[in-house]
Structure 1
Amino acid sequence: MKQGLKSIDWLFALHGLIILLLSIYFNLQLINLSILANNTASDLVGIKNFSYLLFYISGLGLVLYLPKLLTWSFFKRLSTVYLIYLFLSYFLRLTRQLNNKDFIVGAFQKNQFWQGNFLLPLFFMILLAFFLHRLLVAYDKQEWLPDYTGHEELLFYLLSASFLLQDSQYRASLLLPLRPLFASDELASYHLGLLVQVTSSLLCFAALIFIFSKAWQGLRMALATPYLAVASSAFFALFFNYTFQLGVKKSESIANYYVLPGAISFQLLILFALALLVYLVTNRYLIGSLLIFGLGSSLSLVNYLKEFMRSEPLLLIDFVWLRQLGLLIGFVSPSVIWLSLFFLIGLGFIYSYVRRRLVSPPIFSWLQRFFGSLFVLVSLVAVVYGNASYLNPLPSLAKLDKVLNINWLGFSSNARYKSLAYVWTKQLTTPIMEKPSQYNQAKIEELVKKYSQLAKDINRERTEKIDQQTVIYLLSESLANPERLDGIDLSASVLPNIDAIKEETTSGLMTSDGYGGGTANMEFQSLTGLPLPNFSSSVSVLYTEVVPKMKVFPSISDLYQKQNKVVIHPENRLNYSRHLIYQQLGFGKQVFTNSTKDKLLDVNRAGVNISDQTVYDNILARLDTKNSQFFSVITMQNHVPWSASTPEEVMVTGQNFSAKENANLTSYARLLAQTDEATIAFLEALQEIDKPITVVFYGDHLPSLYPEQVFSEQADSKYQTDYFIWNNQENQQLEYPLIRSNDFPAALLAHTNAKVSPYYALLTQLLNRAELSEKELEEVEADLKLLQYDMTIGKAYIKARPSFFEIK
């Protein structure tokens, strides 16, 4: 060991350390002075003067090391780095401004294309170094300059990295978490945080420039080096960061931000790590690059299409649809399918062509692969689980959460302002429901007693039992009256019969939790009474993410015998694992389009999809006039894509709609008109049956055909559909003008004057929210959240009280 220490050139190492420290402090004080410059507080005068002193000392120290670096090669390389940095910085600025409609790409001056925060100080240092060198040469005193031979590259990379560190965008994001410390006079913490951030950033940027330089050298010699893999990962991260955010862009800001601070750096780091992991796994540059490009392009396209069609970004849970590729293809335009095929064929051709002409050796040694993979995985864990401390230089999930809580705005807003990577990471790491602070066994027992008494009170006034009649839950796909929307001109009313029914019975609008999608979530809520907002905002599909973890799975259908429970859905039984869900709920008959014992009878289509008339006829064919039944029915007629030529008299146009949008809107409206006729005929048929039958009819969400401008003046209308509750013998008109899908079990029991269990007494309280004080409503909502947690991922204390779900 002593021999090893003696072999070290300590003077050489000392010069390297001095160069590094001078570069750190020069940048540190340059940033620090940007805050102090406009601050005239008398108690900061001393700090400001000391900062100027450190700035000049570190600057003059760098000047002493610069003369030997002043060659044409140095200026050429530095200029190249600066120009590349300008374009990459502007590209990042463009990404950050995607949601800003006033950002004009070509307005370079306005958008601060030229970044001079470090350019001017560097110019003066070079000027001083030049004159110093000329002076020492004139007096033959060059030996006065420090001998740092071998450190030229280090100084070059640190100076180049300073361009990136002093970028106005980066400097603002770096100072954002530190400004509150400065404002609250926590100056020691502020300076420590700034030192950590500047040091880590400078080293990271210097390493990045070094890697890109080495990668370019390898590329010129057609060598696939580890440097090239790292540089390519950074390039792909930059490119796909843009395409991902482009897919969810919307011309508006939130809290005066077009993207929240830290969102872009968080996504860049995630994408960089994943791209590098691909190279490490494949260990071949060509196949790795094509795989990253193909996968990133596909995800970007799917993300755009889903946001366009359903106002929701691509989510991790959506990957289960790969098992139903044929169904997915049916929802996509043929031109997109052909374009995708040509794209894949093109990638295959490129690989085949290049592979035959170039040798593709391994990129990494086994040791590099091992430590590289370990480094990537540790980095991902650090980014995902790192804390929000100002001393943590890495972007992290905790930092993004801390900036602004917009989880309640849904997936699209979070993807738009916090990045798509943020949404995916939250889905992977967030529990499906937060534990309520008051949750314990005693509290659940208290709820049982409270709502058992309330059930007794309610049942004194009710005379019917719901299991003595047939109930048909009828979810009408995408049904929402377009007449309620601004700028829509219809030649004729498309839902006259349904509107007439709504005038005579309990009816109104239902608040949907989705736009252009979310059918399974509406169905779950309408059966269970459990509201989606009580679950984590990272939950996308309740059937696949929540139900498998539920310890108690309540449903209004539990009040019926297995042989009397029927599901009818004119689609694939595997969608959202519905066949398993219905099996768990004890449905004796499941009628789908395939792979079930019971088949749809006499199938006809309306446009592209199976008609509502076919579904209604199948309900009538399976009605048992002797036994009470429960039907859970979903239609598909009004699902995308829309294509209908009748009734011809129905024509619809939207203000400022494109020709394609008007064509879709007209087809959709014609399909609604067909639904309207089929529905009234179905209800008339039910009136002929001598047995009480109640229909809970509702649209699950609006179709995705409307441009965003339709909802600019009435945002709520984007999430409001039609509903009614109707009985074939006797109806009452209860006043529930606006309800949620989880209100349907309680609304059904109220409309039919049917007795309730303690659980439905709780839901009835929530249904009657308009009659409660604010304090009472908060208490009921808290009670339901406690119970919902207990049934989902809690201790399931309620299991010991089965009578809570029984109607006595």
Structure 2
Amino acid sequence: MHIKKSVFIYLLQFLFMLFSVALVGYLLHLSQTVDIKATNQAVFHTNVAAYLLTITILFLLYLAIYGLINRFFYATAVYYIFFGIYIVANRLKVAYRKEPIMPSDLALLRSWKQLFSMISWKIVVLAIVSFVMVVAFCVFLGKHFSKDTLQFNLITRIILVVLGVATIGSFYNVDKQGSMMNKITAKTGYINFAPNISLVANTTGPLLPFLGNIHTDIMDEPKGYSEETMQKIYRKYQKTAQRINKNRPNNNLNKQTLIFVLSESFSDPQRVPNVTINQDPIPKINQIKQENTSGLMLSSGYGGGTANMEYMTFTGLAYNQFAKSLQSPYTQLVVNQKHPVNIINSFDYAAAIHPYYGNFYDRDIVYPKLGFDVFKNLQTKGKDALQYHSKLSFSTFVSDESSYKETLKQVNSRKKGQFISLVTMQNHMPFNVMYDNTYFTYSGTAAGMPEQVANYTNGINYTDNSTKEFLDKLDAIQKPITVVWYGDHLPGMYDKNSMEEYNVVQHETDYFIYSNKYALEHNYGTKKIEQNTAITDPNGFIPIALKQMKQKVTPYYALLTEVQENLPATAKNSVGNSESLMVDQNGKQLSAKQLTKSQREIQKDYRLVQYDLTAGKGYLKTKINK
């Protein structure tokens, strides 16, 4: 009788575990699609094999936790808490950025306090209460019924844990053709197609794309890569630089100050389809754009991806040319590099200002590697601590006005030229901040939470005023200064708009390049460059800025100039079947097949140089930017 009872309990445990993995697998998929009908279609009809693979993995991980703890109810609590956090986190990332949680996101756990500050307190409280209830229930069951549940001997426990670890490890070479896991996933219909990682996650669930990107490859080796090829490219762009430099009078960057301003989440909402604002929230910036070099920037992010835009502006390298698994160059690439080639190293002195926590996206590690001499953030102490850090109304972030004051202080701290990077925070999500004075209202069908659009619009109006004041003060400084000012991505609040339908426009932000009065009067600046500036990508800012500053170029900057002036703007695609989103100067989306022979040649050179500087042998690293 006792044996029959034990077998019955063990059977109940097994059935409960099956139910749990099926439930978690379903909820994971739902956190990605946010659509019960679409989830049911994928799980029960079109992608059953991928769902079965997902719940098999979940079952093996459940067993591993069980083997590790050897107490069924406590293991169940850990299992539900862990995957509950995963489900909530994935849902939030999809809501704000339209993409699933990836392994590169784990680097942000260093900044978990800051992440929590960006999430609505209602969500945090609801999640904590739910998790506490699960733990309390499992502890109660554990105290009263643990002696009746299955417990393993030591060898079985080790086997179960090893199985769980091996399950995760088996995805290390999932992209390698012919590997066992590659064959298994191929039969389920899963393909690690990172150009549209959201599409993959929507069809297979987010777990398989997560595991499929555990191993990071920097970049696939381009065909024809060799030392001989790279030397030919070097000589080619030496000649290009000589041609460009005939019309550039300035040969010393250190006589000028170059400021890159990344304006967090800035993009004119009036350009977004199905959005109507009662009045222009950024009249001053629109006037600045009209009178100076300006246009639209094609972003590789939506609702996030700030550090990736930074990386492209600093290095001139294209995010969309990296390998599928490299989702965050800062945390996956730069942290392991020594003196990467970038615009910062072209100056004798460089300062970074970011009125937030320095460890976000590993900036405290990355910035020194890029060549910054000082990094001013909320955690900086002593003489380099932020002097200006006031906030607007109920906002938790430092205002743009304060950030600009800090930047002006840095500009005036040195007589010679310097490079300055300012990454603002005022308009960062969440967009539930209510300002004291609200002059803007939103109507339309683009946003599920209309009040967020109104709040955001009020925020960028403050940016509009403070930006004009900042430029006016730069005009009063008696040394040449050029500002590259841009929004990094759209805010992720236009959730009712179809990304498939509005892919291009919802990846276009505003930018302008401004030379101060002294620079214009002393032949260190240009008022307005008209050609090839209507739309660019972040990696195009270096060559446009150098042209604006009438600055001679190195072979590397000559290559970037050719890329910017002759190739369409590119970004990492988020929808469709193409790795790259390409847009010409007329705002028209192009395909790779539409590139001319000369464009393909430039693109090939660009790809080879990017590979050489990041994943290759570094044949040109020490000389291409000199």
Residue deviations 1:474-493 (CA, integer Å, cap 9, x gap)? 00000000000122121110
Do residues 472 (structure 1) and 259 (structure 2) align? Answer: yes
Residue deviations 1:764-783 (CA, integer Å, cap 9, x gap)? 11001259961122122222
The aligned counterpart of 1:570 is 355
Residue deviations 1:260-316 (CA, integer Å, cap 9, x gap)? 574323322222221221112112211111111111111111111111122121222
Amino acid in the other structure paired with 1:490: I
- Structure-to-structure mapping, 1:543-558, within 5 angstroms: 543-550=330-337, 553-558=340-345
Count of paired positions: 579
- Structure-to-structure mapping, 1:729-748, within 5 angstroms: 729=517, 730=520, 731-735=527-531, 736-748=533-545
Amino acid in the other structure paired with 1:582: Y
Residue deviations 1:364-423 (CA, integer Å, cap 9, x gap)? 1223234444555555556765799999899724546x76674312x3222112331221
The aligned counterpart of 2:80 is 293
- Structure-to-structure mapping, 1:247-262, within 5 angstroms: 247-249=31-33, 262=49
Do residues 652 (structure 1) and 449 (structure 2) align? Answer: no
The answer on whether the counterparts of 1:734 and 1:751 sit within 8 Å (CA) in structure 2 is: no
Q: Distance in 1 between matches of 2:289 and 2:235?
A: 37
- What is the SS of the residue equivalent to 2:352? strand
Q: Distance in 2 between matches of 1:782 and 1:770?
A: 11
**Shift, 1:713, TM fit:** 4.1
- Structure-to-structure mapping, 1:333-344, within 5 angstroms: 333-344=120-131
The aligned counterpart of 1:718 is 506
The aligned counterpart of 1:706 is 494
Mean CA deviation greater in 784-793 or 564-573: 784-793
Do residues 690 (structure 1) and 478 (structure 2) align? Answer: yes
**Shift, 1:733, TM fit:** 2.2
Residue deviations 1:294-349 (CA, integer Å, cap 9, x gap)? 11111111111111122121222222333322211111111111112212321332
Between Structure 1 and Structure 2, which shows a larger proportion of helix residues? 1
- What is the SS of the residue equivalent to 1:510? strand
Do residues 626 (structure 1) and 415 (structure 2) align? Answer: yes
- What is the SS of the residue equivalent to 1:632? strand
Pair 1:721–1:379, CA change in 2 (3 A): closer
Match for residue 767 of structure 1 among 555, 560, 564:
564
Amino acid in the other structure paired with 1:752: M
Pair 1:383–1:526, CA change in 2 (3 A): closer
The aligned counterpart of 1:66 is none
Match for residue 787 of structure 1 among 609, 617, 625:
609
The aligned counterpart of 1:205 is none
- Work out which of the two has the higher radius of gyration on C-alpha atoms and give 1 or 2: 1
Residue deviations 1:758-801 (CA, integer Å, cap 9, x gap)? 011111110012599611221222222222222222222224xx
- What is the SS of the residue equivalent to 2:545? helix
The aligned counterpart of 1:369 is 157
The answer on whether the counterparts of 1:506 and 1:724 sit within 8 Å (CA) in structure 2 is: yes
Pair 1:759–1:219, CA change in 2 (3 A): farther
Amino acid in the other structure paired with 2:50: A
Do residues 525 (structure 1) and 315 (structure 2) align? Answer: no
Q: Distance in 1 between matches of 2:143 and 2:49?
A: 43
- What is the SS of the residue equivalent to 1:312? coil
**Shift, 1:502, TM fit:** 0.9
The answer on whether the counterparts of 1:387 and 1:396 sit within 8 Å (CA) in structure 2 is: no
The answer on whether the counterparts of 1:790 and 1:796 sit within 8 Å (CA) in structure 2 is: yes
The aligned counterpart of 1:599 is 385
Amino acid in the other structure paired with 2:211: T
Pair 1:491–1:262, CA change in 2 (3 A): same
The answer on whether the counterparts of 1:739 and 1:767 sit within 8 Å (CA) in structure 2 is: yes
Q: Distance in 2 between matches of 1:704 and 1:333?
A: 15
Match for residue 507 of structure 1 among 294, 297, 301:
294
Q: Distance in 2 between matches of 1:693 and 1:381?
A: 51
Q: Distance in 2 between matches of 1:696 and 1:275?
A: 51
The answer on whether the counterparts of 2:72 and 2:142 sit within 8 Å (CA) in structure 1 is: no
**Shift, 1:509, TM fit:** 0.7
The answer on whether the counterparts of 1:472 and 1:696 sit within 8 Å (CA) in structure 2 is: yes
Q: TM-score by structure 1 length? A: 0.67
The answer on whether the counterparts of 1:511 and 1:719 sit within 8 Å (CA) in structure 2 is: yes
**Shift, 1:249, TM fit:** 0.6
Do residues 424 (structure 1) and 210 (structure 2) align? Answer: yes
The answer on whether the counterparts of 1:516 and 1:702 sit within 8 Å (CA) in structure 2 is: yes
Q: Which runs of 5+ in 1 are unaligned?
A: 1-215
Do residues 587 (structure 1) and 372 (structure 2) align? Answer: yes
The aligned counterpart of 1:318 is 105
- What is the SS of the residue equivalent to 1:803? coil
Mean CA deviation greater in 370-379 or 334-343: 370-379
Amino acid in the other structure paired with 1:779: E
Amino acid in the other structure paired with 1:456: Q
The answer on whether the counterparts of 1:267 and 1:420 sit within 8 Å (CA) in structure 2 is: no
- Structure-to-structure mapping, 1:379-528, within 5 angstroms: 385=173, 396-399=184-187, 406-409=193-196, 411-465=197-251, 466-528=253-315
Q: Distance in 2 between matches of 1:398 and 1:520?
A: 33
Pair 1:221–1:264, CA change in 2 (3 A): closer
The aligned counterpart of 2:30 is 246
- What is the SS of the residue equivalent to 1:276? helix
The answer on whether the counterparts of 2:185 and 2:191 sit within 8 Å (CA) in structure 1 is: no
- What is the SS of the residue equivalent to 2:428? coil
**Shift, 1:522, TM fit:** 0.2
Pair 1:667–1:706, CA change in 2 (3 A): same
Pair 1:525–1:657, CA change in 2 (3 A): closer
Q: Distance in 1 between matches of 2:198 and 2:254?
A: 41
The aligned counterpart of 2:19 is 235
The answer on whether the counterparts of 1:451 and 1:759 sit within 8 Å (CA) in structure 2 is: yes
Q: Distance in 2 between matches of 1:391 and 1:681?
A: 59
The answer on whether the counterparts of 1:244 and 1:300 sit within 8 Å (CA) in structure 2 is: yes
Mean CA deviation greater in 365-374 or 775-784: 365-374
**Shift, 1:719, TM fit:** 0.8
The answer on whether the counterparts of 1:447 and 1:783 sit within 8 Å (CA) in structure 2 is: yes
- Structure-to-structure mapping, 1:96-245, within 5 angstroms: 221-222=8-9, 225=10, 231-245=15-29
The answer on whether the counterparts of 2:358 and 2:379 sit within 8 Å (CA) in structure 1 is: yes
Pair 1:636–1:777, CA change in 2 (3 A): same
Q: Distance in 1 between matches of 2:166 and 2:344?
A: 48
Identity over aligned pairs, percent: 28
Q: TM-score by structure 2 length? A: 0.86
The aligned counterpart of 1:86 is none
Amino acid in the other structure paired with 2:451: A
**Shift, 1:353, TM fit:** 2.0
**Shift, 1:744, TM fit:** 0.9
Pair 1:366–1:600, CA change in 2 (3 A): same
The aligned counterpart of 2:578 is none
Amino acid in the other structure paired with 1:631: I
Q: Which runs of 5+ in 2 are unaligned?
A: 521-526, 569-593
The answer on whether the counterparts of 1:512 and 1:701 sit within 8 Å (CA) in structure 2 is: yes
The answer on whether the counterparts of 2:447 and 2:493 sit within 8 Å (CA) in structure 1 is: no
The answer on whether the counterparts of 1:385 and 1:397 sit within 8 Å (CA) in structure 2 is: no
Amino acid in the other structure paired with 2:452: N
- What is the SS of the residue equivalent to 1:623? helix
> Whose relative contact order is higher, 1 or 2, with alpha carbons under 8 Å and at least 6 apart?
2
